[in-house]
Amino acid sequence: MNNCKSFKPSIDNNSKILILGSMPGVKSLEEQQYYAHSQNRFWKNMGNICNEPKLPEFDYDLKLKILLKNNIALWDTIKSCKRKGSLDSDIQNETPNDIRKLLKKYPNIKTICLNGNKSYTTFKKYFPDLLEKYSCHKMPSTSPANAKYSLDILIREWAKIVAK
């Protein structure tokens, strides 16, 4: 079991949409970058939504800047946990991030997208009141483990919420 710790949020005062993952996978933790695994479809998905098809090829700081330019913030529901490997199903002893504090500090956030089942169930467990206060959406995971969703379907589903 490895001790895993989430990153700081990527957010600014213009952010209107908060995308919450669960906990970065092994590759992301090694690289200290959200969605660093080459087979994760997050950056391809966001590239389409932000009208930046080459987004996956950009350096990490530029990727984050493009999300912020599109009023999209990025963080995780889990602050720390124990996990062997990268699968959300292996997460144990989770501690949530202080999402209430973040939302209070950034009042322009109106929409919360929960990237996958674990992000959603963790959010629901620790922040059930926020499900009513914000426009919250359980989104299909961009993880390569979510093979039942093609990239085209992911883009279509995410665009319904994020590209409004």
User: CA–CA separation, 131 vs 122, rounded Å?
Assistant: 12
Q: Is residue 17 helix, strand or coil?
A: strand
Give yes or no for a contact between 152 and 164, defined as CB atoms under 8 angstroms apart.
no
Residue numbers annotated as active site: 40
Q: Angle of helix 60-69 relative to helix 42-49, nearest 10 degrees?
A: 40
Query: Which 8-state DSSP code applies to residue 55?
Result: G
Neighbour count for residue 115 (Cβ, 10 Å): 28
Neighbour count for residue 51 (Cβ, 10 Å): 10
Cα 66 versus chain centre, distance: 15
The pairing of strands 17-21 and 72-76 is: parallel
User: CA–CA separation, 159 vs 139, rounded Å?
Assistant: 10
